[in-house]
Amino acid sequence: MESKWPEFRLDEITTLIIDCPHSTPEWTDSGVIVLRSNNIRNGALDLANPSFTTEEGYLDRIKRAIPTEDDIVLTREAPMGEVCIIPKGLKCCLGQRMVLIRADKTQVIPEYLLYAIQSSYIQNQISWNEGTGTTVSNIRIPNIKALKIPLPSLNIQRGIVSNLLSVDKKISLNIATNQTLEQMSQTLFKSWFVDFDPVIDNALDAGNPIPEALQSRAELRQKVRNSADFKPLPADIRAMFTAEFEETELGWMPKGWITTSFNDLIELIGGGTPKTSVEEFWNGDIPWFSVVDAPSESDVYVLTTEKKITIEGLNNSSAKLLRKGTTIISARGTVGKCAMVAVPMAMNQSCYGVIGKNNISDEYVYFQLKNAVQTLQQMGHGSVFNTITRDTFKNIKVPFCNEELTNSYSLLVKNYFSKILNNNYQNIALTNLRDTLLPKLISGELSLEDLPNLVNQTEPA
């Protein structure tokens, strides 16, 4: 890439480039956060699954430098070249295979340096070993210090950061919105099909006795009902629920509901892999799902996949075309990952496709499946279970009313799912826009004056 801007070695525009301690921290369930490679993805810090060490472990790992606001963390391997910036107020230390970089703010804005390192120009430098002329799986400190960084004026850096940040903020907003919508949908599912709140409501209103085992839940429910912002369900939906409980093998359950095997409510669809030796089976138009394509939990849908197959590959393997709305669950390897199909696609044999029988709704199946995964984890005391088979679904018992109730649930949450899907598509467009602009802005090929209103151009029609 030919850069319009002057280039500087990374160690010429930073005040600190420090390797992490080469020891394993003392892991604890709580304490001070230890940044690990899996916490850094796509230029952002993700602490959804944090790791911790003791205060003593923290003090031992910050002897070389204390990670501070605006410091940049670069992964050296597994994976290599991922980068994030330390936010304000985060007390943390580095795990293994990481480098701490502190920008000289008289020369470079930390956020600009963050974006620059993500550009293909710097990423190619990271992955390419000039000494051997080959790609590498890790990068050494001397090579990090020697990275060539295109450096425009501070004013232009600010403009570049402002434009790219506006895109990233919209992506983050969509992700946060999806998290809220997914949680709202899951909360309603739990209220209806796990906690039986509408049945408790009906029983309280009718003056029916509440079983002793459910008394504490009923008391909590009454507090919710007495709150100022409580919104009761419409009368026609409440009428779909009984006002009494009865004791069953699963415990207290709404009267008239049945205990059934989850397997009796669903149809399981197996996957397959076309022969990799036959070129005509691959690189077609049909998305082919494997666990690496699983979305984050709040994104719900899988829209695209790393690999695609042809119609010939589909017809000459055990793979099947899944309809939109099918839930995919990973059954081996990384077990229990769930995703809803956004477009017709196939999948490999390490997964099952799951749809409801007798018009049981897709959204109900999705959350009942996630609930089943939680049940399996609880049975294993929170550990990861090794595999899911068809017998697994037979052994999971669930309370069930009727198909009509599952469809009434879906009518209430379909709009949430639709918004999640739209946000996912918009984030793909925003990410493509950012990835297109990033190298051109960093190199100076594209000037700030040429940029339109970036975010508005990606709004769905």
Render pLDDT for 180-194 as a digit per residue (tens, 0 to 9): 999 999 999 999 999
Domain regions of the chain by residue span:
7-151, 263-401
Q: Give the rounded distance of the alpha carbon of 213 from its chain centre.
A: 36
What pLDDT is attached to residue 385? Answer: 62
Mean pLDDT confidence for 431-456:
84
Mean pLDDT confidence for 132-141:
73
Beta bridge partners of 52: 28, 33
Residue 31 backbone zone (phi > 0: left; psi -120 to 50: alpha; other: beta):
left
Confidence of residue 382 (pLDDT cuts 50, 70, 90): very low
Task: Give the separation between CA 12 and CA 443, rounded to whole angstroms.
Answer: 18
Tell me whether the CATH fold assigned to 7-151 matches the one assigned to 263-401.
yes
Lowest pLDDT segment from 46-60, 135-149, 224-238, 398-412: 135-149
What pLDDT is attached to residue 368? Answer: 96
Mean pLDDT confidence for 283-290:
97
Residue 7 has phi, psi (to 5 degrees) of -110, 145
What pLDDT is attached to residue 409? Answer: 97
Pairwise pLDDT comparison (334 vs 356), residue with the higher score? 356
Task: Give the separation between CA 309 and CA 271, rounded to whole angstroms.
Answer: 13
What pLDDT is attached to residue 379? Answer: 67
What pLDDT is attached to residue 138? Answer: 83
Taking the CB of residue 18, how many other CB atoms lie within 10 A of it?
Answer: 16
Task: Give the separation between CA 87 and CA 72, rounded to whole angstroms.
Answer: 10
Residue 216, pLDDT > 70, answer yes
Residue 451, pLDDT > 90, answer no
Mean pLDDT confidence for 158-179:
95
What pLDDT is attached to residue 133? Answer: 52
CATH 3.50.50.60 is right for the domain spanning 7-151: no
Residue 319, pLDDT > 60, answer yes
pLDDT digits (tens, 9 = 90+) for 146-159: 999 999 999 999 99
Residue whose tokens read 């304490």:
31
Task: Give the separation between CA 52 and CA 172, rounded to whole angstroms.
Answer: 25
Residue 178, pLDDT > 50, answer yes
CATH 3.90.220.20 is right for the domain spanning 263-401: yes
Mean pLDDT confidence for 432-438:
93
Mean pLDDT confidence for 289-311:
94
Mean pLDDT confidence for 321-326:
98
What pLDDT is attached to residue 377? Answer: 75
Task: Give the separation between CA 341 and CA 327, rounded to whole angstroms.
Answer: 6
Confidence of residue 26 (pLDDT cuts 50, 70, 90): very high
Type of residue numbered 307: K
What pLDDT is attached to residue 376? Answer: 80
Tell me the average pLDDT of the chain. 92
Cis peptide upstream of residue 79 (ω within 30 degrees of 0): yes
What pLDDT is attached to residue 135? Answer: 64
pLDDT digits (tens, 9 = 90+) for 61-73: 999 999 999 999 9
Confidence of residue 458 (pLDDT cuts 50, 70, 90): low
On whether the pTM is more than 0.75, the answer is yes
Pairwise pLDDT comparison (128 vs 92), residue with the higher score? 92
Confidence of residue 381 (pLDDT cuts 50, 70, 90): very low
Pairwise pLDDT comparison (448 vs 102), residue with the higher score? 102
Q: Give the rounded distance of the alpha carbon of 109 from its chain centre.
A: 29
Lowest pLDDT segment from 127-136, 311-320, 406-415: 127-136
Mean pLDDT confidence for 93-102:
96
